[in-house]
Amino acid sequence: MKASILFLQFTLLACLVTAQDAYEQIKEIAHIDQKVMMPMRDGIRLCTDIYRPKTDEKVPVIFSRTPYNFNSWGDGEMRTRTFQRALEAVKRGYAYVVQNERGRYFSEGEWDILGTPLTDGYDAFSWIEDQPWCNGKIGTYGCSSTAEWQMAVAAMDHPAHAAMVPMGFGAGVGRVGRFYEQGNWYRGGAQQMLFTSWLYSTQHDEMSPRLPQGMKQKDLLRLQRFYDMSPEYPRVDWKEAFAHLPVKDIIKNVEGPTGIYEDMILRKPNDPDWYKGGLYHDDMPFGVPSFWFCSWYDVSISPNLELFNHVRQHAEEAEVRDNQYLVIAPTLHCAYTRAKENTVVGQMSVGDARNDYDGLIYGWFDHWLKGAEKQDIPRVQYYTMGANEWRSSSSWPPESVEMRPFYLNSSGRANSLFGDGMLTSDVPETDQPDAYTYDPMNWVPSVGGNVCCTGGAIDGGAYDQKQLETRQDILVYSTEPLEKDTEVSGFIEATFYVSSDARDTDFTLKLVDVHPDGTAYNLDETILRARYREGFDKEVFMEPGNVYEIEMSPMSTSNVFKKGHQIRIEVSSSNFPRFTRNLNTGGNNFDEAEAVIAHNVVHHSRQYPSQVRLPIVE
């Protein structure tokens, strides 16, 4: 599990210099100060390594804070990446500072993913700013768990926090606009299972041995050579482990570490605990110029884009609003630099998706931390699949987008690839609804998708959905073969009219590009737990015989559906283990082991105009 997460999070390990080579080069050009115990306001000290150029001049700082192990000895997860990043930064005239979060490895205190005190970031900035070698300018940098903390601390607007580069940052986005993901824990009110497997290999057991607080730096430097505080977790077959019920006992069932999972699994989407600690919510200020990096096949692409737009529109200072920039790559989570001349994401080639990421990032830092001239770059750089090329825009979505509705239509037999489901520009006159049976014990399996960190249970990216679409519990709606290339770039919205004989159930949606030979590649997916159709702050259950309007959490992509291709959506009630299964009982779900079979219906007519709205670029 640990290896699979790191493979997603830290790239280019094979093609760059080795850790030892990088370390030897750093020693030639940098002062190295490891196991510096940086004090926080409550007396807790956070373990910090500092690499700074051998110069008497004050220098700007690139700061990375992480829950991962960057110990210089042994098999520290971030050891190679840390040395490489430090070497690159020092060569460019920056000090590179890397720090473990509170309660991780040699850092003191108690760890709480998504709940670390915001003051830790603020206090770290103040400490760094006061060092005689710092020029008073700090830029924050990192992907995934090394990015998640940056947004909330940006709300505190520390005077030294001059710029940031968050990459794959969805785990730090709480509630923003239409999204209540609470750090990727939820999508549409359904739990995303990635955190179950990720916390198994990340949370330290409550009974784990710990170093005493207050240890001297010289003792920590000696200890790090042979003791790195990193436990070895037994391998788990997560495809099997995810199926255990109740969900709250999954980690316990594989004899994993006890920790914060047992608390987090109890939280509902609007639980007050989500609003404490390290998540950024849209009622918070934002004070830092930012260069955002996202991926089409990342777990949180839509809330990431929503946050970019939110900051551009609502940051209090004009300088902050005007200095938000965005790159969207056609890759998996944190896999930007693995793009090649022929980039393959899952099974689908998206062409030459390379980009000069280091040039963009250091150009950004050079301007804000050194005063260099600002780069002349587009506001938004995004990769359009199908056309397989980088494009640019002054906004997201692009200015020329027109939201166009496509209505669900059938004669009541849209079940499977072989049914009669259609996407049409005209609203059906009469309701011939499509019905299917959702059995939580015979779930629709996840095949590819916008995923991260599932311990090998799901392979992320675009995969042929054709075999999956033979199931009777998947409704398939397709356009006629397109008469011309059609670009879809932006947020994909959907409104469905549904009914069920269950008190609660889920509805899933997937956007698919169907090639002339029948190959059907997934682009994005979403879900809505029906009890949250009126808002994530309340639960309203269904009654048999009633038809309900539901708004799906938006999806996102940039894709050219080529001439002769078809635009397709799939509608069902499970996408597992991407999302937890709804057991249809109306109960808590996380503490239940018995399921109810639901008979679900999608209505489409002039009275019930079920539709998907696509952002068409003219």
Query: What does the pLDDT look like over 320-346, one tens digit per residue?
Result: 999 999 999 999 999 998 899 999 999
Query: CB-based contacts of 444: which residues, under 8 Å, 6+ apart?
Result: 468, 471, 473, 474, 508, 572, 573, 574, 575, 576
Question: 13 pLDDT exceeds 50?
Answer: no
In the numeric block, which tokens belong to residue 583?
């057991």
User: pLDDT: is 79 or 104 the higher one?
Assistant: 104
Average pLDDT on 603-610 reads: 98
Question: 78 pLDDT exceeds 70?
Answer: no
Average pLDDT on 460-486 reads: 98
- Hey, where are the domains in the chain? 2-183+279-393, 401-617
Question: 3 pLDDT exceeds 80?
Answer: no
In which element (H, E) is residue 6 found? helix 2-9
The pLDDT value recorded for residue 20 is: 76
Contact of 393 with 382, CB cutoff 8 Å: yes
The pLDDT value recorded for residue 580 is: 98
Residue 564: band (very low, low, confident or very high) from pLDDT cuts 50, 70, 90 = very high
Average pLDDT on 7-26 reads: 58
The pLDDT value recorded for residue 4 is: 36
Q: For the domain with range 401-617, which CATH number is right: 2.60.120.260, 3.40.1080.10, 3.30.530.20, 3.40.190.10?
A: 2.60.120.260
Average pLDDT on 35-48 reads: 97
Average pLDDT on 524-538 reads: 97
User: pLDDT: is 433 or 2 the higher one?
Assistant: 433
Q: What mean pLDDT, rounded, does the chain reach?
A: 94
- Check whether domain 2-183+279-393 has CATH 3.90.730.10, yes or no: no
The pLDDT value recorded for residue 16 is: 45
Whole-model pTM: value is 0.94
Starting at the edge strand found earlier in the chain, the sheet holding 45-53 runs 30-39, 45-53, 95-100, 59-66, 134-143, 161-167, 290-297, 324-332, 380-384, 389-393
Residue 1: band (very low, low, confident or very high) from pLDDT cuts 50, 70, 90 = very low
Over residues 205-242, the pLDDT tens digits come to 888 888 999 999 999 999 998 888 888 899 999 999 99
Question: 15 pLDDT exceeds 70?
Answer: no
Question: 610 pLDDT exceeds 60?
Answer: yes
Over residues 106-125, the pLDDT tens digits come to 999 998 887 677 899 999 99
Average pLDDT on 164-187 reads: 96
Residue 74: band (very low, low, confident or very high) from pLDDT cuts 50, 70, 90 = low
